[in-house]
Amino acid sequence: MTNLFLIFLGNGNFSRAQLDLSTIFRQFFPFNHKSIIFYSFGLELALNLFYFTPMKVSVDSMDKCKFCGSSNQKVHVAEERMFGQGGKFTYLECLSCGSLQLATIPSDLSSYYSNGYYSLVDLTYSSFFRRILKRVRMKSFYKFESKFFEPSFGYWLKKIKPKFSDRIADIGCGNGQLLYEFFASGFQDLHGFDPFIEEENRISPSLTIWKKRIEESDLKFDLIMMHHSFEHMPDPFDILKACFEKLKPGGRLLIRTPVSDAQIWKDEGVFWVQLDAPRHLMIPSTKGMVAIAKKAGFILDEIEFDSSEFQFWGTELYKKGLALDPKLIGKNFAKEEIDAFKEKALQYNQEGKGDQVCFYFRKQD
């Protein structure tokens, strides 16, 4: 359980999540429906329903879609719901590619990250003995590809299987816990990038957490990862182009992010829990992401939907006027409801309608 955590670093216009919302609830609260509680933030459902209705707007008053360049957009007015702070935040939905973007980024996002959000926790180290076990597990996972040996932090490792000697970067890494687990598992050339950590941390000759952006590095990488940090960035092309330039020929880019293809977005609009206003500055559609990645020079290898039951129960809480405090979930959902949500999430993933995906991109050799 300590291998997975969420990081927030909220200065300026960026925030960073080491893992996604659904992962944190699934990993830190292996579901005991009587153990998690939510509190009310007192919003009237009628007002929320009013803001659910999208409006067409004049293209002259809005920016173009950052993914496909279209000026044909809809407006959705969302609220901060995680902590019940309210406020009105305009999201633009591209009518050409379906991607979403925050129309105006607040000058200071830090006020939208209370102490209850993904707190910056200390790095959790493994003992020498545990590191040996983790290395044996990883080598066994590579050799046998058995679910029994699969590490908790990366089903996507099955797809990319980086070499232990590959140079790997994690953008928006927070304190570097995910990279540390790679290090403990035997990977030898690891680099985390986050300009908002307090200070640079050279954990070992094999692992450095840099207090800077990847654009400022002189290194070239075999693999670059973004685990639910992409949606917190203001410009998709800029970060994708930077990744392309920092990859070696044949290098790979892995991006895990919410997507607006989600059926729950189509059904529930601004109540969708992973809209996460105003912290998510942009949410691509798969069509929009593929288009902007191609423009940046990437080749798409695969799109894998990996959403969970969180999309349903989180959204239902928002519809009830409840905030995401992990304390009262048992009072809102029976175990049978959660089991049904899990089955529905699996079905949506299979149908390409889940609310988050993993993109596997590649730079041509």
Please name each of the domains of the chain with its CATH number. Answer: 21-362 (3.40.50.150)
237 vs 234: CA distance, rounded Å = 9
286 vs 326: CA distance, rounded Å = 30
pLDDT tens, per residue, the chain with 365 residues: 333 333 333 333 333 333 344 444 444 343 333 333 232 223 222 223 333 333 333 333 357 999 999 999 999 999 999 988 999 999 999 999 999 999 999 998 888 876 555 545 788 999 999 999 999 999 999 999 888 999 987 789 989 999 999 999 999 998 899 999 999 999 999 999 998 888 999 999 999 999 999 999 999 999 999 999 999 999 999 999 999 999 999 999 999 999 999 999 999 999 999 999 999 999 999 999 999 999 999 999 999 999 999 999 999 999 999 988 777 688 999 999 999 999 999 999 999 999 999 999 999 98
Nearest to 177 by CA among 329, 313, 17, 13: 17
Kindly provide the residue ranges of all beta strands, DSSP E only, lying in the chain, ordered along the sequence.
55-56, 73-80, 86-94, 100-102, 167-171, 189-193, 201-204, 207-210, 221-227, 247-258, 282-283, 299-305, 356-362
pTM, two decimals, is 0.82
Query: What separation in angstroms does the CA of 314 have from each of 25, 69, 274?
Result: 10, 31, 8
Hunting for tokens 């699934």 — which residue is that?
26
> How confident is the model at residue 2, as a pLDDT?
31
> How confident is the model at residue 120, as a pLDDT?
56
Residue type, 66: K
